[in-house]
Structure 1
């Protein structure tokens, strides 16, 4: 493509991607249950074409109306999610139980996160729509955090959703109003956010933004081991550092925000509740006997190992058995100092944290060897976070249900009078013992 054609092609990207959960048919025959979603899509496209200067034939939107199988379907979805301007999820209970919908959400969310990190400005381009109303407490974290006023589309829309409005003729006016307002919001957000295209992701390999179907928001700890600009090794460039370790920005100048901010946004997009801290301030790391409180990802700057005290603490940390902690080693391939000192930095890290490096290579070699770009970090961190979460579940403390200890019930035979029971105490005791022996033999 010629350079002069790039802006024109960018303007003709689909304005929106309509993401919805496919509804199965009730029985072998009958109408397509998703025909109403297709009508909504057509109506939205008509409004978007009227509200913009898209030429004839340009895609106003995209909808997956085919079965999600067959050759090339994942590549096609990946391409559209990497280029569309706005993501429109149709909220419904079925939607948040769909792994495929969660993957679509996650793929688009990564674009918004990376755009925000590059530009240092808010890049929110998800416009939710109510297909079937969902109680707020049932929304996964990524959906619950969206700041969106659904009532601007009408009260009936809030109570019945677009499905109720499109199905019942008496609500035809309310449906037209809601769709018109939704189309206006799509165009407005597309023009304001202006999220650029990116390289398509492998749709089959990415995680779901909703996490486990039955799980709520999960805790995740992010710890940064890095120097500040005030305690750098002699000669080390300071543009990658700030006043605290959390200001470390290895992907400068591509990234305008610290790595801790990027990592926090990435794990939050996987329905985790992230807490971020500095390794230098984490005194609990020294107590290896404490059970884990949550999974953890440790982000290590290899230049931090020039400080002898920090290196000793990292070595002590590595000597403890903490499989629920995964290590990621970010670096910048365009950082000439790091490239020139690659062998020295890698050797010092291997000597300091041999156990964690060995575990990291078993999971994903790039995480331990070094993640050379912001895009690669976005692909690797979710894998590492999920691995830490799985290890945490294996090693977390198990708490039995509350309540005191109760004796196991014993069989004492048929009901008898008090006098007969008094005369028959030895016989009843024998019967109870026999029943206990029988229970023990069955167990």
Structure 2
């Protein structure tokens, strides 16, 4: 039962004596395995597993069934590798079965956010302001850090080893896999069937309509230019949310608040889930506050609200008590009737990472409620007919459950 299983995308190319394109992967594995063995007090051979070029595929499948922590090496190549996608599916099914294994991702080489499949929610742990080593890891990935100076990578390897040892508790084995079962599993990274549009509405002032005294650096000519976490941390929130929605398989569409109200008050079937992103400063304006209360009173099941309370914004921190009071007055139903995560998102998310995390969670839950809402209207005689593939009668995916928040 190895403590961790290292999953990586094999680099194509000839292999021979003294030459292997994946040699850096195996070198990192040995460093990590040795440190995990020291910290956990286990033999080296029990600390970790990695698939070697001449390894037995049944051993790979068995180790994947028995490991306690899954350690994927994130790269653009990884997210397009079918075999890695099958390994991801095998491990995800263990999580769905209740054995509660953990994932500790590693930033191996930088990758575009758009390349991350919707099935992937865990992100590599990056320590902001952690010094030159952490900055180099966050910018260039561990592969380059090891290539440039092995000693510089040791703090990152040590932190990953500690995360693995901390996570390797209370995990039970799954039934052993064999090579045939593993090789016939679906690729978790394959493109999923398209989802419906996702409407996105931003309730924020433009730069020329700011409250008196509000610092203007995070605003622009349009409401959608608002950058709650600053221009560096994601840029305009409308673009950030569109990118997150695309990664989840939705077709995002930014629409005005007027269009929101028309659809909320109408009786036509909604075209998809809807997310309202709120700047608490906007609620000082009576008109904007009234719109928010109207949105709250409608309380449509396919809607979600996220409020940005940036903790690096001195003005927002200084006036946080008053601003939170405005939010509570504008969204009493969401705060009273919403689930715990929904309430937290409405009260205010203080970092860009928290915002992205909760957007993914609420997008999935509002999508499931959207499916439950439209099903009786579209299939009044038999609710199972016309059901989207993989969606059960309760609106949840077959066997995979809802989205899981990872902190």
What's the counterpart of residue 123 of structure 1?
A: 112
Instruction: Answer with 1 or 2: which has the greater Rg.
Output: 1
Judged with a 3 Å threshold, the aligned counterparts in structure 2 of structure 1 residues 378 and 95 are, in CA distance, closer, same or farther, namely same
> In the alignment, does 2:378 pair up with 1:399?
yes
SS, match of residue 360 in structure 2 = helix
CA apart distance, 1:225: 1.1
User: Matched residues in 1 for 2:247 and 2:50: separation?
Assistant: 23
RMSD over aligned Cα atoms: 5.0
Taking structure 1 as the reference length, what is the TM-score of the superposition? 0.52
SS, match of residue 217 in structure 1 = coil
Q: 2:82, 2:189 within 8 Å by CA — same for their partners in 1? A: no
CA apart distance, 1:240: 1.1
What's the counterpart of residue 338 of structure 1?
A: 316
User: Matched residues in 1 for 2:267 and 2:356: separation?
Assistant: 32
Judged with a 3 Å threshold, the aligned counterparts in structure 2 of structure 1 residues 379 and 55 are, in CA distance, closer, same or farther, namely closer
User: Matched residues in 1 for 2:249 and 2:19: separation?
Assistant: 34
> In the alignment, does 2:89 pair up with 1:98?
yes
What's the counterpart of residue 374 of structure 1?
A: 352
User: Matched residues in 2 for 1:109 and 1:225: separation?
Assistant: 36
**Count of aligned residue pairs for this structure pair:** 288
Query: For 1:16-415, what aligned pairs fall within 5 Å after superposition?
Result: 18=8, 43=15, 46-48=19-21, 57-58=27-28, 65=60, 67-70=63-66, 72-74=68-70, 76-77=71-72, 80-81=73-74, 87-91=78-82, 95=86, 98=89, 100=91, 123=112, 195-196=140-141, 215-255=193-233, 257-279=235-257, 282-285=260-263, 287-396=265-374, 398-400=377-379
CA apart distance, 1:280: 5.0
Taking structure 2 as the reference length, what is the TM-score of the superposition? 0.56
User: Matched residues in 2 for 1:267 and 1:278: separation?
Assistant: 17
Q: 1:223, 1:298 within 8 Å by CA — same for their partners in 2? A: yes
Judged with a 3 Å threshold, the aligned counterparts in structure 2 of structure 1 residues 326 and 212 are, in CA distance, closer, same or farther, namely farther
User: Matched residues in 1 for 2:288 and 2:105: separation?
Assistant: 38
CA apart distance, 1:281: 5.3
Deviation per CA, 1:386-437: give whole Å up to 9, x if none.
11011111111532499xxxxxxxxxxxxxxxxxxxxxxxxxxxxxxxxxxx
Q: 1:305, 1:349 within 8 Å by CA — same for their partners in 2? A: yes
Q: Structure 1: where are the runs of 5+ without partners?
A: 1-15, 20-36, 116-121, 128-139, 144-190, 403-443
Deviation per CA, 1:302-339: give whole Å up to 9, x if none.
11111111111111121113011011112210111111
Deviation per CA, 1:325-360: give whole Å up to 9, x if none.
011112210111111111111111111111122344
Judged with a 3 Å threshold, the aligned counterparts in structure 2 of structure 1 residues 281 and 322 are, in CA distance, closer, same or farther, namely closer
Q: 1:210, 1:270 within 8 Å by CA — same for their partners in 2? A: no
CA apart distance, 1:101: 7.5
User: Matched residues in 2 for 1:92 and 1:71: separation?
Assistant: 18
Judged with a 3 Å threshold, the aligned counterparts in structure 2 of structure 1 residues 90 and 49 are, in CA distance, closer, same or farther, namely closer
CA apart distance, 1:290: 3.4
User: Matched residues in 2 for 1:276 and 1:222: separation?
Assistant: 5
User: Matched residues in 2 for 1:88 and 1:212: separation?
Assistant: 9
Q: Structure 2: where are the runs of 5+ without partners?
A: 1-5, 33-48, 52-59, 96-102, 121-135, 143-155, 169-185, 382-407
User: Matched residues in 2 for 1:369 and 1:335: separation?
Assistant: 16
User: Segments of 4+ in structure 1 off by > 4 A?
Assistant: 39-47, 58-64, 92-97, 99-103, 106-112, 124-127, 140-143, 193-204, 208-215
